[in-house]
Amino acid sequence: MNVLLDNLDLFREGFVGTVSLTAGSAALAVVLGLIIAGFRVSPVPPLRLFGTVWVTLLRNTPLTLLFLVAFFVVPQVLFPGIDSYLLAVVALGMYTSSYIAEALRSGINTVPLGQAEAARSIGMTFTQTLRIVVLPQATRTALPPLSSFLIALTKNSAIAGAFNNVDLFNIQKVLSNEGYNILVIFIWITIGYLIVTFSISALFRTLERRLEVAR
């Protein structure tokens, strides 16, 4: 138990690192996911194509490869001297956005056809139909997969720790190098992740209850 008390500062830093990585990339992923989902159902062919390519490429690329690109190609070739937290958030956010876009798209597909038809028949444009009628309903069906993708994102954020970001995995690495009992470290790190994932699922359960409508 001394492992935790001796290194409380490190653990706190790692926990805060994981939480801020998760929060930052979740925000980016949701925004990007919304835009890409919009692209995928839009009447404009090049945008539709872009959306499809984005989702297909990112869903079939290992996240570690994205991190390799982010940490070795981007700083050396495109933007030198960029912050490593920003790079990690962009890599994680882009990766997760492809999953969120798909969840939203299948949510859009479950909205009854009559809803969109009614919206069109009272003269709404594509953007209005999506924003006022379809997306609010799609969000409800997309919430459970969204929460599971955000939990997956939390777990994936451990990879950022391997690329010199301070997070829980990074702390695990540091402490096991210092020769502490790996089992004890493992337990505390796991509890750290559990706190984050439990909070996410609790948050989403509340959201689901709030947004619930009697059908």
Partner 1 sequence: MSGSVLYDAPGPRARARNLVLSVVGGLLIVGLVALVAYRLYDKGQFDGAMWDIFNYAGIRENILDGLAATLKVFAMAAALSLVMAVVLCMGRLSDHKPVRWLATGFIELFRSVPLLITIFALWVGIVDAILPVEVNIEPMWALVFGLAIYNSCVQAEVLRAGINAVPTGQREAAYAIGMRKTQVTASILMPQAVRSMMPTIISQLVVTLKDTSLGYIILYPELLQTARLIASNTQVNGDYPYVPTVIVIGTLYIVLCLALSGLANWIERRGRRAKTGIAPTEAKVPEQTGALP
Task: Please report, as residue ranges, which positions from 10 to 39 form the binding site for partner 1 (by CB under 8 A).
Answer: none
Instruction: Identify the CA nearest to 40 among candidates 115, 101, 125.
Output: 101
Q: Which is nearer to partner 1, 25 or 197 (CB)?
A: 197
Cβ atoms of 32 and 91 within 8 Å: the answer is no
Q: Shortest distance, CB of residue 175 to partner 1, whole angstroms?
A: 10
Cβ atoms of 88 and 21 within 8 Å: the answer is yes
136 part of the interface to partner 1, by CB under 8 A: no
Residue bearing tokens 């990339």: 25
Stretch that binds partner 1, among 1-9, 29-37, 85-93, 184-192 (CB under 8 A): 184-192
Both tokens of residue 99? Answer: 């999953």
2 part of the interface to partner 1, by CB under 8 A: no
Q: Shortest distance, CB of residue 212 to partner 1, whole angstroms?
A: 17
> Which residues, at least 6 apart from 142, have a Cβ–Cβ distance to it below 8 Å?
103, 104, 106, 107
Q: Shortest distance, CB of residue 164 to partner 1, whole angstroms?
A: 12
1 part of the interface to partner 1, by CB under 8 A: no
The terminus-to-terminus CA distance of the chain in angstroms comes to 51
% helix, strand, coil for the chain, step of 5: 85, 0, 15
- The Cα–Cα gap between 118 and 204 comes to 30
Cβ atoms of 58 and 94 within 8 Å: the answer is yes
134 part of the interface to partner 1, by CB under 8 A: yes
- The Cα–Cα gap between 61 and 169 comes to 22
3-state secondary structure of 80: coil
Q: Shortest distance, CB of residue 8 to partner 1, whole angstroms?
A: 20
Give the Å distances, CA to CA, from 187 to 19, 95, 181, 192, 195.
18, 28, 10, 9, 12
140 part of the interface to partner 1, by CB under 8 A: no
Q: Which is nearer to partner 1, 28 or 144 (CB)?
A: 144
Using CB under 8 A, which of 76, 83, 209, 210 touches partner 1? 76
Task: Please report, as residue ranges, which positions from 141 to 170 form the binding site for partner 1 (by CB under 8 A).
Answer: 144-145, 147-148, 151-152, 154-159, 161-162, 168-169
Residues that bind partner 1 (CB under 8 A): 40-48, 50, 56-57, 59-65, 68-69, 72-73, 76-78, 99, 102, 108-109, 113, 116-117, 120, 125-126, 129-130, 134, 144-145, 147-148, 151-152, 154-159, 161-162, 168-169, 172-173, 176, 181-183, 186, 189-190, 193-194, 197-198, 200-201
